[in-house]
Amino acid sequence: MAILSILEFPDPRLRKTARRVSKVDDDLRRLIDDMFETMYAAPGIGLAATQVNIHRRLFIADVSADQTEPYALINPEILEKDGVIVTEEGCLSVPGYYEEVERAEHIRVRFENRDGEQVEMEAKGLLAVCIQHEVDHLDGKLFVDYLSEARRQQIRKRLIRDRRHQSTADVA
């Protein structure tokens, strides 16, 4: 197991479109295990392969309070969306920023699980929000894209400035 490093906005690699997973094998299961270790350590409720610079269509999610509902979704397809929910979203690739985003409240999703079996699942509430947030990552999209251009640029500038201050804190 290993903790993977997470790309941060505005890294252009977060804008890549992920390609389908062709085969669910032991290498992929090892990646999934490393992604869970990384997500739980962060901590977060979801993590897309794109965020760890792997441009394949898979992500993980666990919205439980006690790490008891782990899901790995490979080649996910959202089949149906229903209703509207507004959630204060955050992202491990946009650390420290939380903003309201509108999503579908209920979804139906088809995917392959870690055994390579086709599964269909219904999700609502936070899990549905998380799944939509993760599918966006696989398409190179971030929650800040739903905000105004001005707010997105402000977040971009502040993240760059804060990282510069971090890396020079001990030199000054």
Residues near ligand GNR (CB under 6 A) are: 44-48, 51, 87, 89-93, 129-130, 133-134, 137
Let me know if 134 is a catalytic residue. Answer: yes
28 interface partner picked from Ni ion, ligand GNR, none, CB below 5 to 8 A per type: none
Residues whose CB falls within 8 Å of the CB of residue 166, separated by 6 or more in sequence, listed in order? none
Residues 61/73, Cβ–Cβ less than 8 Å: yes
Return the percent helix, strand and coil in the chain, to nearest 5: 35, 25, 40
CB of 137 to ligand GNR, least distance (A): 5
Q: Where along the sequence are the contacts to Ni ion (CB under 5 A)?
A: 91
Q: How far is the CB of 141 from ligand GNR (least distance, A)?
A: 11
CA–CA dist 62, 44 (Å, integer): 8
Query: Of 77, 112, 120, 134, which residue is the catalytic one?
Result: 134
Q: Shortest Cβ distance from residue 48 to ligand GNR (Å)?
A: 5
- Give the residue among 72, 78, 79, 51 at the shortest CA–CA distance from 116: 72
Q: Which of Ni ion, ligand GNR, none binds 132 (CB below 5-8 Å, type-dependent)?
A: none
Q: 42 or 86, CB closer to Ni ion? A: 42
Q: Which does 127 bind (CB under 5 to 8 A by kind): Ni ion, ligand GNR, none?
A: none
| Residue of closest CB approach to ligand GNR | 44
Which own/partner pairs from 124-129 qualify as long-range (CB within 8 Å, at least 24 positions apart)? 125/85, 126/45, 126/63, 126/87, 127/61, 127/63, 128/85, 128/103, 128/104, 129/85, 129/87, 129/89, 129/101, 129/103
Which entry of Ni ion, ligand GNR, none binds 130, CB below 5 to 8 A by partner kind? ligand GNR
Q: How far is the CB of 63 from ligand GNR (least distance, A)?
A: 8
Q: Which residues are catalytic?
A: 134
